Every structure is written in structure tokens, then in C-alpha cells.
Amino acid sequence: MATQKKGGPEVSLWERLERPAAPRAALTPQRIAAVAVRVADAEGLAAVTMRRLATELGVAPMAAYRHVSGKEDLLALMVDLASAGLGPPPEVTGWREVLREAGIATREVTLRHPWMAELPTPLHALTPNRLAVAERQLAALDGHGLDVDTMMAAFRTVTAYVGGMVRSEVALGAYLREREWDSAEEARKGLAPQMSYLIGTGRYPTYRRYIHEATRKDDPAWEFETGLDCVLDGIAARLGL
């Protein structure tokens, strides 16, 4: 996400973007990112190539390279665009409420843009909009007697939970589509032979109870928020918040 100055330090993508743009520029990094997000949402991340973007934008294949140095810059711009407005509204102020709202919003954004679940953490986190969300959460934890290392550990614990749960949900959706199953119920029917055998061995009585008694099997939002509340409860108890 940076280019090398001749004889000098690297210049980050974000520093370059804050420089004045050419008047009436027909092609901008923001326009490139918007088209890339649209392609990725519809067809997946693999469909996003510089050649495909040039076709969608109606420009020469090398034109986009004047604005982004390569795929890594492009992915960072896509994440930043998709994450615009991700933070909790200003009226949400308590540390728990801020972290909870940020987690729920992150899930919603990632489900709208499932390709985000495929990206490594640096690309997913090091953009202005993503850092603004992180800053909001860290600021909400500040002022409660915690040192900065503990604040970061609490923040990253919530972030890890959110990321893991959302990636699992996105992966499950991809699994269902690959097998042309339209619902979780169809998936259960498709997997019934394996499940019936394993449960029938009698070695998994608690899991068997879940299968027969659970009423929230098809409510991933409830499961996500319940787990998030458990994480936040643990942070509150451990840190005395």
C-alpha cells in the first residue's frame, strides 16, 4: 500500500490520495474502488482484475495504474469504501454499547460485501475508515483506569470474535451455494446421513439434545449477538468495567 520515492522513504496510498487531484479528472481512485466493489459483490473477489476494471470503466488497461499501484492498493481502497460510515452513531457513548454496535455493524457490512471476509488483517484494518472505527472503540475504553495494552487486548478480543463469527457465516453461505442448497433446512437434509450415523453412535448426547431441542438454529443474528454479549460480559467482569 505504498510506493517508493526515489532516494527517499515510502509514500503511503493514503498520503497520495490526500494530495490535490487534477481538475475534472475523469478517473479517480474513488471511482475505481466503487466499480471494483460492485464487481466483487456480484461475482467475488477473483473477478476483480485491473483488466476487468478497465473494461468496466471504459479506459485503457494501464490507466488505472496511474491511481493505484496494484492489487493491494485496490483492495485497501475497496475496504475503505465499503467501511464508510461503519462506526456507531454519535449518541452511542458507553464502552460496551460502542463495541457492541461496532461489532453488529461490522457483521452487516461484511455480509453485504462477503469478499471482505477473505482479506488478511492488514488490508482489512489499515484504512482511514477502519482505523476510525478502531479509534472510536479504543476511545470508549479509555478513561476507565485501563492501561493502553489492556485497552488494545479488550478491543482485539471483540474484533477477533466478530471476525471469526462473520467469516464462519460467510463460509457457510458459500458452502450452501456451491451445493445449490437454498436454505439451512436443505443443508440439514443433505447432511442427514452423516449426522444420523454420528449421533446414532450415542457418543454425543449433548449435541443430540441441541439437534432436537434448539429453536434458534436458523437465527445467525441472534447467535452472533448472544456470543458478542458473552464476550463483553467477560471483559466487564475481568476488567471491572
Q: Which domain holds residue 68?
A: 2-82
Instruction: Tell which of 82, 113, 143 closes a domain.
Output: 82
34 and 131 in a single domain? The answer is: no
Residue 65: what residue type?
Y
| Residue 173 and residue 180 in contact, taking contact as beta carbons nearer than 8 Å | no
Q: Is residue 191 part of a domain?
A: no
58 and 168 in a single domain? The answer is: no
165 and 140 in a single domain? The answer is: yes
Instruction: Tell which of 82, 104, 125 closes a domain.
Output: 82
- Per-residue pLDDT reduced to its tens digit, 84-125: 988 888 899 899 999 999 999 999 999 999 999 988 876 667
Question: Tell me, what CATH number does 131's domain have?
Answer: 1.10.357.10
* Confidence band of 25 (pLDDT split at 50, 70, 90): low
- Per-residue pLDDT reduced to its tens digit, 26-78: 788 889 999 999 999 999 999 999 889 989 998 887 887 778 878 888 999 99
161 and 230 in a single domain? The answer is: yes
Q: What is the per-residue DSSP string for the chain?
A: -EEEPTTS-EEEHHHHHTSPPPTT-SS-HHHHHHHHHHHHHHH-GGG--HHHHHHHHTS-TTGGGGT--SHHHHHHHHHHHHTTT-SPPTT--SHHHHHHHHHHHHHHHHHHSGGGGGS-HHHHH-SHHHHHHHHHHHHHHTTSS--HHHHHHHHHHHHHHHHHHHHHHHHHHHHHHHTT--SHHHHHHHTHHHHHHHHHTTS-HHHHHHHHH-S-TT-HHHHHHHHHHHHHHHHHHHHT-
Q: Is residue 196 part of a domain?
A: no
Q: Is residue 200 part of a domain?
A: no
105 and 177 in a single domain? The answer is: yes
Whole-structure pTM value: 0.85
Instruction: Give the pLDDT of residue 94.
Output: 93
* Confidence band of 8 (pLDDT split at 50, 70, 90): very low
Q: Between 189 and 25, where is the model more confident?
A: 189
156 and 232 in a single domain? The answer is: yes
| Residue 106 and residue 86 in contact, taking contact as beta carbons nearer than 8 Å | yes
146 and 176 in a single domain? The answer is: yes
Q: Is residue 112 part of a domain?
A: yes
